[in-house]
Amino acid sequence: MESILIYGSKYGSTRRYAEELSKRTGIPAVACSDAPDLSNKKIIVYLGGLYAGGILGLTKTLRGFSLRDGQRLMLVTVGLADPSETENRENLRASLQRQLPAGLLGQSKLFHLRGGIDYRKLSFSHRTVMALLYRSLRSIPAEKQTAENRALIETYGRHVDFTDFNSLEPIIREIQKENRAL
């Protein structure tokens, strides 16, 4: 059995993380639209960009999938919100719970990375949604703002990139640990 990195990326942050992780581990990275059959994979690492409360491509890629003996699944989210904040991690877990069967989520290792956003590269529909969201968030009193909402307000309309390839180290260590165990 071999290992694979699968990624769902619309604007590039997640793809860049997947390519760097591939370079550092020697595990091939493929877009979720090109994901092969996973039944013969030993370690499956799914990296997904966060869009509108969901992880891009995750549901379709893992539809009907269940882990077999000897298989490991690692889920890596990539988003704008700071995953070091407890509230953001709770929101990420809730997103994953909506997209995956409870058993599969419970068997997975979770990692969260920060990506970026460049409003100039957003599609018209995404720019429109972000503008509406920004306006609605600004009307919420500051003391009631979530950390995720504050991050969106602070970065609105700008190009920000929080990509940090050093944050891949815990994932690399987990892959190495799983390789030794299997």
What torsion, rounded to 10 degrees, do the Cα atoms 90, 63, 129, 119 define? 80
Apex CA 38: angle with CA 41 and CA 164, to 5°? 75
Please give the model's pTM, rounded to 2 decimal places: 0.87
For tokens 């891949």, name the residue: 168
Question: How many whole angstroms separate alpha carbon 20 and alpha carbon 97?
Answer: 27
pLDDT at position 77? 93
| Contact by Cβ (8 Å): 122, 130 | yes
Along the 182 residues of the chain, how does pLDDT read in single tens digits? 599 999 999 889 999 999 999 999 999 999 999 999 898 899 999 999 987 778 889 989 988 888 888 899 999 999 888 888 888 888 888 888 888 887 888 899 999 999 988 888 888 988 998 899 899 999 999 888 887 788 889 889 988 899 999 999 999 999 999 888 76
pLDDT at position 21? 98
Residue 40 backbone dihedrals phi, psi, to 5 degrees: -105, 15
| Contact by Cβ (8 Å): 99, 58 | yes
Task: Name the residue among 48, 54, 163, 65 with its Cα closest to residue 111.
Answer: 48
Question: How many whole angstroms separate alpha carbon 177 and alpha carbon 56?
Answer: 27
pLDDT at position 182? 65
DSSP 8-state assignment for residue 33:
G
Residue 83 backbone dihedrals phi, psi, to 5 degrees: -75, -5
DSSP-derived pairing of the beta strands 41-51 and 2-8: parallel
CA atoms within 13 A on the CB side of 33: 3
